[in-house]
Amino acid sequence: MSTVAVHDHVVAHHDEHGHEHHHNETFVSKYIFSMDHKMIAKQFLITGITMAVIAMILSILFRIQLAYPDKTFPLLTTLLGHFAPNGRISTEFYLSLVTIHGTIMVFFVLTAGLSGTFANLLIPLQVGARDMASPFMNMLSYWFFFLASVIMLSSFFVQSGPASGGWTIYPPLSALPKAMPGSGMGMTLWLISMVLFVASSLMGGINYVSTILNMRTKGMDLWKMPLTVWALFLTAILGVLAFPVLVAGVVLLIFDRSFGTSFYLSDIVLNGVQQPYEGGSPILFQHLFWFLGHPEVYIVIMPAMGISSEIMSVNSRKPIFGYHAMVYSLIGITVLSFIVWGHHMFVTGMNPFLGGVFMITTLIIAVPSAVKTFNWLATLWRGNIRFTPAMLFAIGMVSFFISGGLTGIFLGNAALDINLHDTYFVVAHFHLVMGSAAIFGMLAGVYHWFPKMFGRLMDEKLGYLHFWLTFIGAYLVFFPMHFMGLDGVPRRYYAFTEFASMQKWLTINTFVTWAAIMAALAQVAFIYNFIVSIFAGKKTTQNPWESNTLEWTTPVEHLHGNWPGEIPTVYRWPYDYSKPGAEEDFIPQTVPFSQTMSSNLPHDFEDNPAGMDELTKFNARPKSIDGEEPKIS
Amino acid sequence: MLFGTNLLMAQTPAAAAGTGEDANQVDWTGVAYYVLIFFLICLGVAVIGKILKIYDLSLKIQGKKGLKWNNVMGVVCLIFLVAGLYGAYWSFTVQGCMTLPESASIHGVKIDEMFTVTTILTMIVFFITQILLFGFLFQYRHSEKRRAHFLPHNNTIEKVWTIVPAIVLTILVVFGFFTWQKIMDDTDAKGEVASINIDITGHQFAWELRYPGKDGKLGPKRFDLTTAANKLGVDFTKKSSFDDLSADTMYLPVNRSIKLNIQAQDVIHSVYMPHFRVQLNAVPGLPTYFKFTPTITTSEMRHRLDDPKFEYIVYCNKICGGGHYNMQKVVRVVSEAEYLEWLSRQKPYLTDGLKKELHFADAEPQKAVSQNRLALNN
Q: Is A599 on the interface with B (CB under 8 A)?
A: no
Calpha distance A327→A5 (Å, rounded): 22
**From the centroid of its chain, how far is CA B329?**
15
Q: Does A577 contact B24 at a Cβ distance shorter than 8 Å?
A: no
Calpha distance A42→A114 (Å, rounded): 11
**CA angle, B299 as apex, B298 and B304 as ends, to 5°?**
95
Q: Are B214 and A449 in contact (CB under 8 A)?
A: no
Residue A409 pLDDT > 90, yes or no?
yes
Average pLDDT over chain A reads: 91
Which has the minimum average pLDDT: A480-494, B52-66, B111-125?
A: B52-66
Q: B210-225 pLDDT, tens per residue?
A: 999 888 889 999 888 8
Q: Is A160 on the interface with B (CB under 8 A)?
A: no
Average pLDDT over chain B reads: 87
Which residue did the predictor score with more confidence, A17 or A76? A76
Torsion of CA A10, A115, A310, A314, to 10 degrees: 90
Residue A54 pLDDT > 50, yes or no?
yes
Mean pLDDT calculated for residue range A581-592: 90
- Backbone torsions φ then ψ of B149, nearest 5 degrees: -85, 120
The CA–CA distances, whole Å, from A128 to A267, A297, B315 equal 58, 29, 57
Closest CA to A169 of A259, A262, A53, A253: A253
Q: B244-287 pLDDT, tens per residue?
A: 999 999 999 999 999 999 999 999 999 999 999 999 999 999 99
Looking at residue A597, what is its pLDDT?
Answer: 86
Chain A: give the shortest CA distance to residue B376, in Å.
32
DSSP letter for each residue of A66-90: HH-TT---HHHHHHHGGGSGGGS--
Closest CA to B198 of B296, B266, B271: B271
Looking at residue B361, what is its pLDDT?
Answer: 58
Q: Nearest by CB to A269, which of B151, B223, B319?
A: B223
**Chain B residues touching residue A95 (CB < 8 angstroms):** 319, 321-322, 324
Q: Does B142 contact A91 at a Cβ distance shorter than 8 Å?
A: no
Range(s) within chain A of domains with CATH label 1.20.210.10: 2-539
Q: Are B23 and A73 in contact (CB under 8 A)?
A: no
Q: Nearest by CB to B23, which of A74, A387, A498?
A: A74
Burial grade of A546 (CB within 10 A; 0-12, 13-18, 19 or more) = middle
- The three-state secondary structure class of A129 is coil
- Backbone torsions φ then ψ of B228, nearest 5 degrees: -65, -35
Please compute, for residue B281, the number of CA atoms within 13 A of its CA located in the half-sphere on the CB side: 26
B328-334 vs B347-348, strand pairing mode: unpaired
Q: Nearest by CB to A347, which of B76, B279, B324?
A: B279
Q: What is the DSSP letter of B220?
A: P
Q: What is the DSSP letter of B234?
A: B
Q: A279-312 pLDDT, tens per residue?
A: 999 999 999 999 999 999 999 999 999 999 999 9
Looking at residue A606, what is its pLDDT?
Answer: 79
Mean pLDDT calculated for residue range B347-363: 80
**Chain A residues touching residue B98 (CB < 8 angstroms):** 483, 487, 504-505
Q: Which of A367, A427, A527, A546 to mutate to test the interface with B (most CBs of B within 10 A)?
A: A367
Q: Could you tell me the pLDDT band of residue A147, with boundaries at 50, 70 and 90?
A: very high
Looking at residue B362, what is its pLDDT?
Answer: 52
Looking at residue B17, what is its pLDDT?
Answer: 41
Looking at residue A14, what is its pLDDT?
Answer: 45
Q: Which residues contact A538 (CB under 8 A, 6 or more apart)?
A: A456, A457
Which has the minimum average pLDDT: B7-11, B81-85, B164-168?
A: B7-11
Looking at residue B9, what is its pLDDT?
Answer: 41
List residues bridging with B291 in a β-sheet.
B259
In percent, the amount of chain A with pLDDT more than 70 equals 94
What single-letter amino acid sits at B123?
M
Looking at residue B23, what is its pLDDT?
Answer: 54
Looking at residue B4, what is its pLDDT?
Answer: 41
Q: What CATH number should be reported for the domain whose range is A2-539?
A: 1.20.210.10
Q: Does A418 contact B288 at a Cβ distance shorter than 8 Å?
A: no
Looking at residue B30, what is its pLDDT?
Answer: 83
Chain A: give the shortest CA distance to residue B136, in Å.
6
**Chain A residues touching residue B226 (CB < 8 angstroms):** 269, 272, 274
Closest CA to B335 of B256, B250, B254, B255: B254
**Chain B residues touching residue A393 (CB < 8 angstroms):** none
Residue A104 pLDDT > 90, yes or no?
yes
Q: Which residues contact A146 (CB under 8 A, 6 or more apart)?
A: A43, A47
Q: Which of B78, B173, B224, B329 to mutate to test the interface with A (most CBs of A within 10 A)?
A: B173
Mean pLDDT calculated for residue range A195-205: 96
Q: Which residues contact A197 (CB under 8 A, 6 or more apart)?
A: A107, A108, A112, A144, A145, A148
Radius of gyration of the CA atoms of chain A, in A = 26
Q: Does A74 contact B158 at a Cβ distance shorter than 8 Å?
A: no
Q: Is A72 on the interface with B (CB under 8 A)?
A: yes
Chain A: give the shortest CA distance to residue B15, in Å.
10
Q: Could you tell me the pLDDT band of residue B238, with boundaries at 50, 70 and 90?
A: confident
Calpha distance B304→A57 (Å, rounded): 44
Work out the number of other CB atoms within 10 angstroms of the CB of residue A597.
Answer: 18
What single-letter amino acid sits at B130?
Q
Q: Is A90 on the interface with B (CB under 8 A)?
A: yes
Residue B171 pLDDT > 70, yes or no?
yes
Q: Does B23 contact A383 at a Cβ distance shorter than 8 Å?
A: no
Alpha-helical runs (H) found in chain B: 2-11, 15-18, 28-61, 69-94, 106-139, 155-184, 298-305, 336-344, 352-357, 363-377
Q: Does B176 contact A77 at a Cβ distance shorter than 8 Å?
A: no
Which residue did the predictor score with more confidence, A78 or B10? A78
What single-letter amino acid sits at A428?
A
The CA–CA distances, whole Å, from A492 to A167, A234, A449, B330, B373 equal 11, 33, 37, 21, 42
Calpha distance A572→B18 (Å, rounded): 75
Torsion of CA A604, A608, A609, A614, to 10 degrees: -50
Q: A307-316 pLDDT, tens per residue?
A: 999 999 999 9
pTM of the model: 0.91
| Chain B residue closest in CA terms to A317 | B148
Q: Does A479 contact B142 at a Cβ distance shorter than 8 Å?
A: no
Residue A518 pLDDT > 90, yes or no?
yes
Q: Could you tell me the pLDDT band of residue B228, with boundaries at 50, 70 and 90?
A: confident
Chain A: give the shortest CA distance to residue B367, in Å.
30
Q: Are A476 and A515 in contact (CB under 8 A)?
A: yes
Calpha distance B258→B252 (Å, rounded): 8
Q: Is A602 on the interface with B (CB under 8 A)?
A: no
Q: Does B183 contact A479 at a Cβ distance shorter than 8 Å?
A: no
Residue A163 pLDDT > 50, yes or no?
yes
**Chain A residues touching residue B141 (CB < 8 angstroms):** 385, 387
A and B: number of Cβ contacts within 8 A: 375
Chain A: give the shortest CA distance to residue B375, in Å.
34
E strand or H helix at B264: strand B258-264
Q: A318-376 pLDDT, tens per residue?
A: 999 999 999 999 999 999 999 999 999 999 989 989 999 999 999 899 999 999 999 99
Alpha-helical runs (H) found in A341-459: 352-380, 389-411, 414-420, 424-430, 437-454
Q: Does B180 contact A159 at a Cβ distance shorter than 8 Å?
A: no
- Backbone torsions φ then ψ of A595, nearest 5 degrees: -90, 0
Q: Does A360 contact B270 at a Cβ distance shorter than 8 Å?
A: no
Residue B3 pLDDT > 50, yes or no?
no
**Chain B residues touching residue A321 (CB < 8 angstroms):** 151-154
Q: Does A274 contact B223 at a Cβ distance shorter than 8 Å?
A: yes
Calpha distance A2→A413 (Å, rounded): 45
Burial grade of B19 (CB within 10 A; 0-12, 13-18, 19 or more) = exposed
Calpha distance A470→A444 (Å, rounded): 13
Looking at residue A623, what is its pLDDT?
Answer: 60
Residue B21 pLDDT > 90, yes or no?
no
Which residue did the predictor score with more confidence, A620 or A576? A576
What single-letter amino acid sits at A323?
Y
